[in-house]
Each structure stands twice: as structure tokens, then as C-alpha cells.
Chain A
């Protein structure tokens, strides 16, 4: 086997050797998994000073190779064959102690979730110093100085203060910067970044991508950047490696792959990104407003303890808008902008401090008891997390039928309706007899939509309904929502942080920042001529946008 691989790699050996070379690597999954190998016979190389993006959807095995190189394979996953040569040395054959030398010192890693990757009980400075301590380097004073220098290098606003801060005192983007500082501490030659921007807002994501690119150029590192987002690829990659079901389907220079994708799957992935984002003009629905909201205020107050001052966070500040029948209104903003609070106030999960929410001209805030319940049913919600939004112990059919049952529909009929609804959202009617854990994320989201439809609502509030899904699934769910909206004459309030998604489905947009509406208008207007500085910032932060503007705009109608 090694004979073979040597022959294959011979051509590359002639020039300068790559920093990392994966040869014929296969990782076996434990028995009972959906396939035999997590990655199956893959080969790729990473040269010094190069950014390689490994792209794939969840379950494609894109992170597994990186984990194998770091010696962090989960239990049950084993190396079945192949080598991973780092400077010509097979890292898969190293002992745990030898691996530890490699980790941190020569290969650094950044993880997806900056909150859980940092120890919540340790100050940031100590955590960075710990990296040197673990490898027995420097004196404690020198460690502090290096930590400060690193925080300056990753451009934290106040490095001195950040050194003494606990992770919870920093924002998501700042935490990710700290993670990068830690990964860079020992000046690794290779940085592995596993979806480092997925949990971040668009503008923060753009900053972090910029930072990674900048550090890579300055230090001449190699970066393996694992992502599911082709927008990110366009932003930073030198080369791309597209993975699907454990196999590499396409590999090449970033520009080539983006502009002339060879494989159907790559093409589908690139098309699934609603990238260049000029929404088509849509009919401006019925002019009679279904929902109108005015003067909505909401302030979150934490009561404060003996030594803590009271804290007030303004979530909503004088929100005013209306939504026509059959219209899709997008509410866009970053985390903390109050967009979710707004959605929750409208469906009635939160109570606003003041203001008016009226549906069909009836003020919901003035209603009580049974009347309120009846009106509330006209507004239903699709939730963000497909894994948390279905009760694991209730069968799918029952989960959909429980709304009608609670409102007096006989059980047998409600269950019959549930089966019909499952068919409407594109699932088999037999799904009703199964439990939620038997379904994938996209299927669960369809079930969530069916549940929202069960009460025959007029308005559906979708709170980040597709942000937890893979791009290709996202497109399917969005298409489903769009179809249902037209067939059932629904109005849709679509809350999202992702302007690309908003562009795909919304007629009108509202841009929120810090609890206020900073801009509103038709989706097309906002994308073509944003008025507010914040909207422009949001639009510019969309990864891959500029790149795609240069090339010919693809048709968006293809959803």
C-alpha cells in the first residue's frame, strides 16, 4: 500500500514538499453508522503559506480529517488506512505524548463554538499563558507579556482589559479572537480552523475572516479552513476541496472552482447560496394590513444583587410596522438587535411593556382569556432549532395534532389531518407514527412547519427557521415555505440574521439594530440602494459578495 501511495505522490515530491499531505486516508465509523467510512480514501495536500478550504455539508466528513491530524478522533472512529504526513512524518502513527508535542507547537486549532472552547472560570490572560505553561516554555512574566502581545496582534479593542476578563465578559467575536490568539501562541506552521465563524454574526464573521487572512499572510502559515459556506471560500481560500459523504468530489484553485465548478454537487452548493442577492421584484400583496404593530417597547431588567447594579437592556424601542395579507416581511439584524424578541412578542411568548399589536384590526393586547386564545391561534411560529422544537417523547403525528386537539377537534380527525399535513410539507404520511429522533434536521423543520399549519393560521412567524440547516436543505425549506405561503394564502414574518436568506424569500425588509428599526423598504430597494450606514455594513459583510458581483449575476428565481 505504501508503495502505491509513494508512486502517486511522486510528482508532487519533485517540487518542494508540501507541509501536510493526506494520503489514501480512510477513517472507519463505528458499526451501525449510516456509512462504513467517515472519510474514504482521500488525498490532498496543503503547502506552506496557503489557505485550503475544506467545504462540505454536515456529515460529509470534512472535520474528521482535521481531527485525525490533531489526534482528536472521537471514540469508535479509527484510522483504517492511509497516512497524514506533516513535514514528511506520519502523524497518525504518533503516540499520545509525541502528538502533544505537535499540537499547539506546530499545529494550532480553532473551534466553532468560542463560548464552550474557553474555560469559563479562567481569565483570558491565564488561559493564553497556560498554552506556554503546558509546553514548559517561558517564565510566568514573559508568558504574560506574550499573552498581551498576542491579544494586540488579534486586534482586541482593549488588550490590557481583555487579559483580565473572563470569557463571559467578551462578545462572541472577541472570544473567537482570543481562541485565535491561543492557537497562534506557539507560532504553529499549520492552523486548522473548524467552522470558526459559523456561530458569529455576518459583520463579525467578515472581521474574523479578514483577521485570519491577514495573520496568515504575515506569518506565512498554512491554514486549513473547514466550512460549509461557499461565501467564505470566495472570501479567503487559495484552494478548495469539496467533500461529500466522505469522498472528495472536487478540488482545485478557489477561483476555478467558484467560476467553473466541474461536479454537479459543487454546482448545486454554489447555486444554493443566494449569493449576489438582488431580490426579484415581487407583487406587493394585498394592501390591507393583516398585522400592524405600533409603539412596541420592551426592556429586559435584571434585578441585580447586593453588589450588582440593576441592568437594563432595551430589546425593543418604538417598533412600528405593518404586514399585508399574503406578504413576506423579513426582519434582519445581528444577535442582540431585538429581532427575536419582536417575533416572540407578536406570537405572545413575551409580553411587551407597551404598544399595540393588532391582527385584522383587533388589538391583541386588549383581549383576554378565550378570545385571546382564539386570536392567538391565527399566529403560529416555526422555531430555529429543529432538534429542540419537537418533544422527543411524542410521536410526530401527535405533535402536529395536539394543537387541534387542544382546541376541541376529536382526536381521530386531528390525527388524520396531521397525516395530510405531513404530505403537504413533503413527508410521507407514515412519518406520523415515528418519533422525532428518526428524522434529519431538514425533515424535522418540515414537521415543525406542519405543526404550525395545523391550526390554519393566517400569519406564520419563522424565527431563524433555516439557520441551523445546511445550505442545500435551507433552499428546500425556503422553497417549501414560499410554496405554502402562496397555496394557503399565508403571511410570513421571517426573522433572520442572514441577509442572503432574506433576499431569497422576502418581499419587504426591516433592518433592526439595538431594538430600533433603522431601515425598512422593499427587499430590492434595500439591497440595491441601502440608505442607513448599518444596512450597508451588513450588506458588505456578506461573504463572497464582492467576488460574485464581478462575475455575472446568477438567476435567483431558480429556488
Chain B
């Protein structure tokens, strides 16, 4: 419908979408642009960007191609961001829905459980989890998902609390629909717009978390990621600043793009609010 038109009215969101498309394109093309492993040493180390033809972004401390690392890292960052968000939604949405719909003791129990996770600092918990599980892509995804589902649960619960008293939900109860049908068919579709917006922002947060973990050396040792690149270059910040800055800018742009897209989605899904601005 005119969903995209409303989305495109927010210029920033459009810019965000373009940047995001470029990053996705880069990630998809990485295996074709740089068929070799990004870990391979291809030139002498500490080449500045543009110093030798064929290495537009230079080489790192071990003589690996920075451009190749960036392209392969985009794949890892996006994948981990997306999957961990999906896993977080898979935990948060059902918990929030059950708590909000049934209320009472069930709500109390589920919300105390959620608060248990909320009281522990996110990043500290993620570090502990990865350290226990041994760093691998799966454990990183799990760790990020486990620290980021509570806000989803709270959001969904809030939406359920307000929607479950709407007259159309009461009408569904009166005609004898089961709790499961009411939750899935009546209420859930009406809670989706804020959840979608939150999810787009969560992908951004997940990318940041993954980068932070890799920076600390807790990334998957077999995959090249942006966080790892910054972490590896931090000791040579004075001699070769670009080694930290280039992946840093990549993270910045991707996260910014996701945030802009999230805001655009918010406008497009809540047209009344957007017009009021």
C-alpha cells in the first residue's frame, strides 16, 4: 500500500535504508570479491590505505587485507545481529504475551524472572556466558539473545495489558475463541508494530555487543569480525590509526543506518504520531 511512501517521507530513514542495503550487498558479495580467507597474509604489514594498488584500505599488523576483513566481517556482524534478535524475540514475545494476557500470578512469576535478567548488567552477563560456553558463533548469538530479550518481554506485556481489555477481544471471548486463538489471532497482530521497531534497534545493539565481545577477544576465533579488527589494532593505534578507525566507521554507519530505519518504521507504522511531529 502506501506503507513505503510513509516510510520514505522520513528522509533519514531512506538514507539509513540505502546504507543498510550497501552493507548487505557488501556482505553478500564478500565471497566473490575476496574469495580467499580474510586471515591470509597477502602483503607486508602496516600498508596505509592506497599505498599499494590493489589494497585500497591497506593491510593490518600481520599483512592481512583490511578490505577483505571488512567485507567478510560485514557478513558476520549482520548475521549475528539478525539471528540473535530473532532468538531474543522468540524468548521475549511469548513470555510477554503470556504475562500480559493471563496477569495475576503468572504475570508476577514471569516478570520476576525477567527482572532477574534485567538487574544484571547486560555486557557483564554476555561476557560471562561466552566465557563459560567457549567463544563460538553459536555461543555469541545465544549470549546476545539472552541479555537482550527482557525489553521485548516488557514491551509485549505492556501492549497485551492494554489491548486485552479492548472490546474486540472481549467479543472474541464471548463467541468462545480459545485463549490460544485470542492471543495469536486477535492481540498479537496488533502488538507487532512497536515490536518491529524495537527489533530493528535490537539488531543494531546486537552488532555493537558482538563487536565489543570480539574487541575483548571473546569473538569466534575462526571468523573475521569488525570488533576483532578494532581489538587487534588497538595496540598500534599510534602507528596505524586507520586500522581501528576503518572498522569503527563501518560499525558506526551500520548501527546508525539501523537506527534510522527503525525510526522510519516507527513513523510508517504509527502514522498518527508521525504526522503530529
Contact = CB atoms under 8 A, between A and B. Distances in A.
Contacts of B178: 406
Contacts of A399: 168
B51 interface: no
A110 to B, nearest CB: 24
Interface of B is mostly: helix
Interface stretch (A80-88, A376-384, A543-551): A376-384
Contact of B170 (A379, A383, A407): A383
B1 to A, nearest CB: 11
Contact of B174 (A348, A394, A404): A348
Contact of A380 (B167, B168, B175, B181): B175
B235 interface: no
Contact size range, A? 20 to 34
A380 B189 CA distance: 25
Nearest to B170: A349
A394 B181 CA distance: 13
Nearest to A76: B275
Interface residues of B, number: 19
B185 interface: yes
Contacts, number: 65
A408 to B, nearest CB: 10
Given A391-B186, A391-B190, A406-B181, A349 B167 contact: no
Contacts of B172: 391, 402
Contacts of A75: 275
A399 B186 CA distance: 10
Interface string B182-220: 000110011000000000000000000000000000000
B63 to A, nearest CB: 56
B167 A451 contact: no
A390 interface: yes
A347 B167 CA distance: 13
A389 B167 contact: yes
A349 B174 contact: yes
A393 B181 CA distance: 14
B170 A393 contact: no
Given A393-B189, A394-B185, A381 B176 contact: no
Interface in A501-529: none
Contact of A407 (B169, B176, B189, B190): B176
A347 B170 CA distance: 10
Contacts of A120: none
B105 interface: no
A454 interface: yes
A455 interface: yes
B190 A392 contact: yes
A404 B168 CA distance: 16
Contacts of A380: 174-175
A402 B275 CA distance: 34
Given A391-B186, A393-B189, A347 B177 contact: no
A406 B181 CA distance: 9
A388 interface: yes
B175 A389 contact: no
Given A381-B170, A388-B167, A391-B186, 14 more contacts: A373-B176, A376-B176, A380-B175, A381-B171, A390-B168, A391-B172, A393-B190, A394-B185, A402-B185, A407-B175, A448-B171, A451-B171, A455-B175, A455-B176
Interface of B: 166-178, 181, 185-186, 189-190, 275
9 contacts: A349-B173, A373-B176, A377-B175, A388-B168, A391-B168, A391-B189, A394-B189, A403-B177, A451-B171
